[in-house]
Amino acid sequence: MAELVKPHPIDWTERLKNWREALLTMNLPDERMDGVSRWLIITRAGVIPMTLTSGLIGGLLAMRAANPNWLYFLLGLIGLGVAHASNNLINDYFDLTGGIDTSEAPRALYAPHPVLAGWVTRAELLRAIVVLNLIDAAIMVFLFVVRGWGVVLFALAGLFISVFYVAPPVRLKHLGLGEPGVFIVWGPLMVGGTYFITTGELPAWVWVASLPYAILVTSVLIGKHIDKLPYDSTKGVHTLPVILGEKRALRLNQALMIAFYLVVVAMVLTGTLGFGALLVLGGLPILWRVLKVYSNPKPTSPPPGYPVWPLWYVSAAFVHTRRAGALFVLGLFLNWIFGM
């Protein structure tokens, strides 16, 4: 009898290393690619922590409420992460079918495009979008039963902006409305929606407290659209940087990143947030370095080992958002711990 071939054991240390690299760079050498890494890259999971941070902010604000329900919070957080993954696939699908994404597009250069790289077909991409939205629909139905119509309103508003960000006939991104749409989604809708799901109420101060992180996420998108400005302008995609021009867009993003700190300080001084939120000031050294990146010309070629070329300004904005957002979350946690 032929000797049975034993399956090669999985090296989990190597596998985890691959997943981490896929999350951090949205790239991975073919010889190290596995199924999980492939879908982490396809869904652009490396940027989903921004969404989870918005949800976490809503949950931390809800700690001040009388009877928060943490099961509902967890379901809402999962729903947000799934929705962001779906949003990334929707963008790829409609930009591809609309002729925006080609093999020469920045989207296909800084990371593998799911279809153009041959990883999935258009039909498979569409099926993945449907599956993710069915998961979110199931979560929405459950939360609707326990929290009411407010859940549906939040979910449908987010879905509308997510789909029609790139889908015809609206195409918010093409009209210079993509950036305001992202501000609304990652601020009032995600933070406010998570607070509502967790507590069943939504006081006015929560809307205000949702604004700082919305500013940070918007700065990331504007950075990306500055990087893509030459390509978008040739395709008739009128993002805000295309409308403003590169120089004005660079100054706008610098102003937004500075505004994050000013808004947080103003909220602390007015009593909207506790003093723990001032922990965000620990992000000022990174802000200074990022502002200098925005003041200097983009290099003509990538630095050694740089993973997401031709993107440049978005990377700096993302690093700043990751640090400042983490400090904001930690500050809100300290507010709860010390009753501020």
The b/e string for 14-40 (b: 16+ C-beta within 10 A; e otherwise) is eeeebbebbbebbebeeeeeeeebbbb
Q: How many angstroms separate the CA atoms of 214 and 189, rounded?
A: 10
pLDDT of residue 323: 97
User: Nearest CA to 273 among 224, 321, 216, 340?
Assistant: 340
Confidence of residue 3 (pLDDT cuts 50, 70, 90): low
The pLDDT of 239-250, averaged and rounded, is 97
Q: How many angstroms separate the CA atoms of 255 and 161, rounded?
A: 25
Q: Could you tell me the two tokens for 259?
A: 């505004």
| Cβ-contact 225, 241 below 8 angstroms | yes
* Residue for token pair 């909207």: 272
pLDDT of residue 31: 87
The pLDDT of 268-283, averaged and rounded, is 95
Q: How many angstroms separate the CA atoms of 292 and 310, rounded?
A: 19
Question: What rounded mean pLDDT belongs to the chain?
Answer: 94
| Cβ-contact 209, 271 below 8 angstroms | no
pLDDT of residue 308: 92
pTM metric for this prediction: 0.93
% residues pLDDT > 90 (the chain):
85
pLDDT of residue 12: 80
Residue 141 DSSP code: H
Q: Does the pLDDT of residue 1 top 50, yes or no?
A: no
| pLDDT, greater one: 26 or 225 | 225
| Cβ-contact 254, 291 below 8 angstroms | yes
Q: Does the pLDDT of residue 214 top 60, yes or no?
A: yes
Q: Three-state SS for 279?
A: helix
pLDDT tens, position by position, 19-69: 999 998 888 888 889 999 999 999 999 999 999 999 999 999 999 888 899
Q: How many angstroms separate the CA atoms of 37 and 338, rounded?
A: 40
pLDDT tens, position by position, 167-209: 999 999 999 999 999 999 999 999 999 999 999 999 999 999 9
162-165: long-range contacts at Cβ-Cβ below 8 A with a sequence spacing of 24 or more? 162/83, 162/86, 162/87, 162/90, 163/90, 165/87, 165/90, 165/91
Q: How many angstroms separate the CA atoms of 42 and 88, rounded?
A: 8
